[in-house]
Amino acid sequence: MKNALKFYIDGEWVDPAGSTRLDVIDPSTEQPFTEIAMGNSADAERAIAAARAAFATFSLSSLTEKIDLLQRILDILLRRNDEIGDIISKEMGAPAKIARSSQAYMGLAHFRKAIEAARSFEFEYMQGTTRILREPVGVVGMITPWNWPMNQMACKVAPALATGCTMVLKPSEISPLSGIIFAEVLHEAGVPKGVFNLVNGDGPTIGAVLASHPDVDMVSFTGSTRAGISVALAAAPTVKRVHQELGGKSPNIVLRSADFAAAVSAGVRKCFDNSGQSCNAPTRMLVPAERMDDAIAAAVATADAFVVGAPFEVDTDIGPVVSLMHFEKIQALIQKGIDEGAELVAGGPGRPAHLNAGYYVRPTVFARVTNDMTVAREEIFGPVLTILGYETDDEAVAIANDTPYGLAAYIQGEAEDARAVARKLRAGQVRINSSAWDGAAPFGGYKQSGNGREYGKFGLEEFTEIKGVVGYGE
């Protein structure tokens, strides 16, 4: 990849200020396959200055100009979709069929939704004699994770461009190559100089500068709750806007009115999607206590049917997790579940027997879990499901809400029953009966799962300031 050792700043691919490099590891082989440049504070400062200078003009561009830009980006993303999917497979281990149809596709989806939202968004309107203006918030520092790289870059960059913001993006250094292709796409689309900038590096170096810099008006962060707290602390002295989408431990309540075996099977598949590396994965399945044995049977049958293997194998359902550090964390938590008395009914510690290299995790199911166990409390971020029993719907709700997180929740059952339960759950998004993804629905969390919302018009709102011009209509 020709630009792997460069950064995209002020409309050009430039050499980094320092000489530090980092290997990019293929998690299916545990071997490096390329390297990237790692930025320092001077690189971040240069990118922020370019974004600040560009804001003066880009913030005044017309809606038509911005929508045309978004459309050009969308067209190029569509052309490069398979290439993006393949590099995501290589850098973070997603099976190729999923990387193309889901991982890379999310970039297309978010730009489409941003275009739709921008066309109907009320950027200004009259309220009596006062004119209400929604203006771009300014320079945005964006820090994105490794697990859904294109999704998280697109759902921040698209609304930022639509509202007239300028930005500096720091993708995850674990899965950085999709970000480099993304920058190439924006360059080809003709993004004005300085509007979009990309600097690779780690959180304590580049991320800290973006969060703390006085010329950055907003920081948009997606990642762990622990890292999100650090970002918020760094941003506090400059009183900038902090938008965060953080961790989750999402409940999946299977009601008595559900098509039981189908609901359990669907819940297992959703939990194991992307090797369990999704912040909104339904990792806590709640089932009626009297149906626990039925739930175990359906969950084990589904888990055992998953094919774990190399990302580019046609039959692979679950690829490796992203890194050795992450693999070891998951293994420790699986062992913790066993030690604390959770009933291991599928999977368990170690790699699948047919694989002798790569960060592969066995699809694992714990049953008869109680909500005080570590595997029910901590975000494991791997293909590990916990099944808990409940006696009444109210108890199910209480267990579901008994978590520091509140990103997502899931309910399976007859529509009327599910709607009633949905209103009681403390989560930013509730999905009923394995409903399809909605790219215009607000996405974000309650409690320690973050603040603010992404997607569609809600994403546009996050990147605007509200101004009231009093007396405008007099």
CATH value at residue 271: 3.40.309.10
Q: Render pLDDT for 166-210 as a digit per residue (tens, 0 to 9).
A: 999 999 999 999 999 999 999 999 999 999 999 999 999 999 999
pLDDT for 474: 82
Determine, yes or no, domain membership for 237.
Answer: yes
Regarding whether 44 and 162 lie in a shared domain, the answer is yes
User: What average pLDDT does range 129-136 have in this prediction?
Assistant: 98
290/267 Cα distance (integer angstroms)? 18
- pLDDT band of residue 401 (cuts 50, 70, 90) is very high
- Is the predicted pLDDT of residue 398 greater than 90, yes or no? yes
Angle between helices 63-79 and 149-163 (to 10 degrees): 160
259/401 Cα distance (integer angstroms)? 24
Determine, yes or no, domain membership for 73.
Answer: yes
Determine, yes or no, domain membership for 324.
Answer: yes
Regarding whether 57 and 83 lie in a shared domain, the answer is yes
- pLDDT band of residue 160 (cuts 50, 70, 90) is very high
The active-site residue, picked from 91, 173, 184, 245, is 245
Determine, yes or no, domain membership for 385.
Answer: yes
Regarding whether 202 and 98 lie in a shared domain, the answer is yes
Regarding whether 90 and 49 lie in a shared domain, the answer is yes
pLDDT for 1: 78
- The residue written with tokens 């009231």 in the block is 468
- Is the predicted pLDDT of residue 158 greater than 90, yes or no? yes
Regarding whether 262 and 180 lie in a shared domain, the answer is no
Regarding whether 257 and 242 lie in a shared domain, the answer is no
Regarding whether 237 and 354 lie in a shared domain, the answer is no
Q: Render pLDDT for 55-98 as a digit per residue (tens, 0 to 9).
A: 999 999 999 999 999 999 999 999 999 999 999 999 999 999 99
Q: Render pLDDT for 402-417 as a digit per residue (tens, 0 to 9).
A: 999 999 999 999 999 9
In the residue annotation, 378 being an active-site residue is answered as: no
Determine, yes or no, domain membership for 1.
Answer: no
Burial (Cβ within 10 Å: 0-12, 13-18, ≥19) of residue 338: middle
- pLDDT band of residue 450 (cuts 50, 70, 90) is very high
Phi and psi at residue 341, in whole multiples of 5°?
A: 95, 10
pLDDT for 290: 98
Regarding whether 135 and 221 lie in a shared domain, the answer is yes
- pLDDT band of residue 275 (cuts 50, 70, 90) is very high
Neighbours of 233 (CB within 10 A): 13
Regarding whether 279 and 139 lie in a shared domain, the answer is no
Contact 388, 282 (CB under 8 A): no
Contact 143, 221 (CB under 8 A): yes
282/453 Cα distance (integer angstroms)? 19
Q: Render pLDDT for 17-50 as a digit per residue (tens, 0 to 9).
A: 999 999 999 999 999 999 999 999 999 999 999 9
State which amino acid sits at residue 272.
Answer: F
- pLDDT band of residue 373 (cuts 50, 70, 90) is very high
Regarding whether 454 and 428 lie in a shared domain, the answer is no
In the residue annotation, 245 being an active-site residue is answered as: yes
The active-site residue, picked from 91, 184, 279, 454, is 279
2/58 Cα distance (integer angstroms)? 29
Determine, yes or no, domain membership for 279.
Answer: yes
CATH number of residue 38's parent domain = 3.40.605.10
Determine, yes or no, domain membership for 444.
Answer: no
Determine, yes or no, domain membership for 68.
Answer: yes
Domains: count for the chain: 2
Regarding whether 256 and 235 lie in a shared domain, the answer is no
Q: Give 105's DSSP letter.
A: H
- pLDDT band of residue 293 (cuts 50, 70, 90) is very high
pLDDT for 150: 98
Which residues, 6+ apart, have CB-to-CB distance to 64 below 8 Å?
Answer: none
Q: Which domain holds residue 419?
A: 251-438
pLDDT for 58: 98
pLDDT for 181: 98
Regarding whether 12 and 95 lie in a shared domain, the answer is yes
